[in-house]
């Protein structure tokens, strides 16, 4: 199984959606970073990470989100949104402080429409 399923939504502006297919671990963190950099190099400017299939989020998962946010923010400003986080994942993101700088939405559609 692939770590990320990538799709595109064209609301007001093009939005790339990464639906995580498995939990982010030390073993696949570098893969997620590479997928993000490759997508960015191909013109991705706005990204929604769909966490609906992610039942838990470890510290390396939080780190991955922060790294992706920093990469996109440096060039495009606030161009990362999170969507579909289950209650346990939402709690981790809030406790870690991620929700202070990355917006969290209930659905991918809501997140995409916010750009």
User: Average pLDDT over the chain, rounded to whole?
Assistant: 92
How far apart (Å, rounded) are the C-alpha atoms in residues 110 and 104? 10
- Spatial distance between the Cα atoms of 23 and 61, rounded to a whole number of angstroms: 8
pTM of the model: 0.93
Residues 98-112 have a mean pLDDT of 96
What's the DSSP call for residue 27?
T
Report the domain count for the chain.
1
Please tell me the predicted confidence (pLDDT) of residue 76: 78
Average pLDDT over residues 29-48: 92
DSSP symbols for 32-94? HHHHHHHHHHTT---EEEE-TT-S---HHHHHHHHHHHHHHHHHHSS-EEEE---HHHHHHHH
Range of the domain at 19: 4-113
- CATH at residue 43: 3.30.750.24
Neighbouring residues of 104: CB distance < 8 A, sequence distance ≥ 6? 81, 82, 83, 85, 90, 93
Q: What is the pLDDT of residue 2?
A: 84
Determine the pLDDT at residue 1: 62
Give 11's pLDDT tier (boundaries 50, 70, 90): low
The per-residue pLDDT for 84 is 97
């Amino acid at each position: 199984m692939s770590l990320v399923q990538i799709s595109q939504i064209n609301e007001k502006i093009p939005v790339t959606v990464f639906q995580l297919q498995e939990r982010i671990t030390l073993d696949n963190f570098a893969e997620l970073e590479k997928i993000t950099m490759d997508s960015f190099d191909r013109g991705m400017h706005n990204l929604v990470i769909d966490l609906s299939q992610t039942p838990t989020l470890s510290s390396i998962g939080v780190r991955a989100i922060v790294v992706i946010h920093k990469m996109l923010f440096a060039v495009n400003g606030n161009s990362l949104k999170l969507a579909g986080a289950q209650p346990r994942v939402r709690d981790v993101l809030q406790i870690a402080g991620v929700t202070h700088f990355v917006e969290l939405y209930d659905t991918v559609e809501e997140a995409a429409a916010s750009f």
